[in-house]
Chains A and B, each alone.
Chain A
Amino acid sequence: MYKYNDFDEAFVRERVAQFTEQVERRIDGSLTEDEFKPLRLMNGLYLQLHAYMLRVAIPYGTLNPDQMRQLAMIAERWDKGYGHFTTRQNIQFNWPQLTDVPAMLGALADVEMHCIQTSGNTIRNVTADHFAGAAKDEIADPRPVAELLRQWSTDHPEFQFLPRKFKIAVTGAEHDRAVIRAHDIGIQIVENDKGERGYRILIGGGLGRTPMIGKVVRDFLPEADLLPYCEAIVSVYNLLGRRDNKYKARIKITVHETGIDEIRAMIEDRFALLRPTFGGGDRQIFAEIQDAFAPPVFRDADEAPFVAARADDPVFRAWADTNLANHKRDDHAIVSISLKAHGATPGDATAAQMRAMADLAERYAYGELRISHEQNVILPHVARADLPAVHAGLKEAGLATANIGLISDIIACPGMDYCALATARSIPIAQEIATRFDELKLEHDIGQLKIKISGCINACGHHHVGHIGILGLDRAGVENYQITLGGDGTEDAAIGTRTGPGFSADDIVPAVERIVGAYLEHREGADEPFLQTYKRLGMAPFKAALYPEAQEKANAA
């Protein structure tokens, strides 16, 4: 894992010192709120519905056990004993007091963490495949690329005041677990037919008010050209991007209005100018970063204890069959820890749970933890022999829910329970759906089904790419939920299609039940997942199930 060098350490400490003084000046009246607001946002401090909220960057979702324990300490000392992991692989604390934030930033700096560029119109925390370095289908670990981009984009003088926020995601595998097609820049590590490593670069993806799937701007970018090319993209966007209208300011609109071919030509021109100015320093840094991400020394382990536990213990078997993914080594597995216990808040972990995960990572997972954009925690490398012990430890901490990828593994943004921008609540809807399908004991039969819920049009809950997407709106002073179907966040990315009129808070769970009922009725056997049934049949059977009155009316006419 990357360790801060002297420059990183000094930079983060200096920012803590600066912000400490800025808070003092705000409180003593030397700074107005208008002056202070951009400064606090640059340090990840929002003012939400009930309190301040501090968003902590977790670069490419990677944490070590000491960092996780420090997050637990911060949650207990300055917050209310829990944290919320987000769809940007970050963590948010929902209850800090303004006067405590400098101390919280200091505590983060103690473990090489910060909140810089977790807000504002800058390049945000770079995200990556949460199975990075472990996945069987991976060409290369995407985290060195993400770390190089983090170093380049942090405090980049040209990119502190972009037209709008800017999000980059990196994957090292063909199967996209990082939703790169819904990012301002999506990067996929690829190899060309000569076996040379490089990148496929996409731009202009994004969700929000105007959802768009990213377009390929370069099919193969040589490895050495990554930073100058990314700088060219952001530089062209910085000039072209609209500053007259917040809703048209993201690069997806710039690409849409300019056209991919024209913007590609502009990027190539800019790239030709920038490339010679990089001079190879970036290459040397990249090589050093790659060393820092060398895989752990894996132990050889007989998987007999795993096989025995799987045969003997049905609870372990259910968990193993649902929450494990293939590791690049056959005697290891990737463990997904569900933060979606039925009825719990998606993405929340208590301080005790954070410590339990840190301890398990230290003992059984070579000291590595990841946060997924799906708001779960990953132990990327666990010897199969140790899985029964890991499962026992998770069970004790209330973290052994066997539902990864299933209907209760829901992404939900904080919604109007916390967020000042929200138009409706998301969390209670997620809780009710999970509780309902747990009661029905149907979720393992239903199989792979991703529900994603956003509490406003900004789509932090990725509802557009949910197999079932739910968007909470304010309709004449009442919470109302629109449904989309057929969204997909993978390499086959698709924006979901709206079913029709929305549903009240009381009617949304029964509506989801009717959709699932239609799926179970129409699927071609248990091997056909929801999304495939939807692709095969289209909207009609789901619409008929959702709006039976309309159907009756049509039949009568």
Chain B
Amino acid sequence: MSRRFTPKVVTANALLEGDAVWLAADDSWVRDMTRAELLEDEEHAKARLALATGQPGRVVGAYLADAKAGPDGPEPTHFREDFRTRGPSNYPLGKQAGEDAHV
């Protein structure tokens, strides 16, 4: 018996900037995880990952990451994914600095 599917998001790194990005429901890539599409169905998740891996001109290394629903949108469940939403802990750089750009 396969394990029960848990909610996911599609995430990757942006090709040019290299930072963490997430796939939104409108097929755009967003830099704020709360705006990502939370995938609760396994088949749908596979289809969304396939869409992501078919965009090598925009993102690198797309994968499905565990997530859960939060008040503002999807939230990470693992500390690694949590760090990816913020940036390093030794300097206020990366996403926590409010640096933003479009993919």
Contact = CB atoms under 8 A, between A and B. Distances in A.
A479 interface: yes
A50 B94 contact: yes
Interface in A137-172: none
B95 to A, nearest CB: 8
Which range contains the number of B residues in contact with the other chain?
Answer: 20 to 34
B18 A33 contact: no
B60 A33 contact: yes
Interface in A76-94: 80, 94
Contacts of A26: 15
B90 A50 contact: no
Contacts of A49: 20, 80, 83-84
Interface string A396-418: 00000000000000000000111
Contacts of A477: 77-79
B2 interface: no
B56 interface: yes
Interface in B1-29: 13, 15-20
B73 interface: no
B57 interface: yes
A55 B29 CA distance: 28
A95 B93 contact: yes
A47 B90 contact: no
B19 A51 contact: yes
A99 interface: yes
A188 interface: no
A51 B56 CA distance: 16
Interface in A17-37: 26-27, 29, 32-33
B15 A80 contact: no
B77, B84, B88: residue with the most chain A Cβ atoms closer than 10 Å: B88
A97 interface: yes
Given A29-B57, A50-B88, 16 more contacts: A47-B18, A48-B18, A49-B84, A50-B20, A50-B93, A52-B18, A80-B91, A97-B17, A97-B18, A99-B16, A416-B83, A418-B88, A425-B83, A427-B88, A427-B90, A428-B89
18 contacts: A26-B15, A49-B20, A50-B18, A50-B19, A50-B93, A51-B94, A95-B93, A96-B18, A97-B16, A98-B16, A98-B17, A99-B16, A417-B90, A418-B88, A428-B89, A474-B80, A477-B78, A477-B79
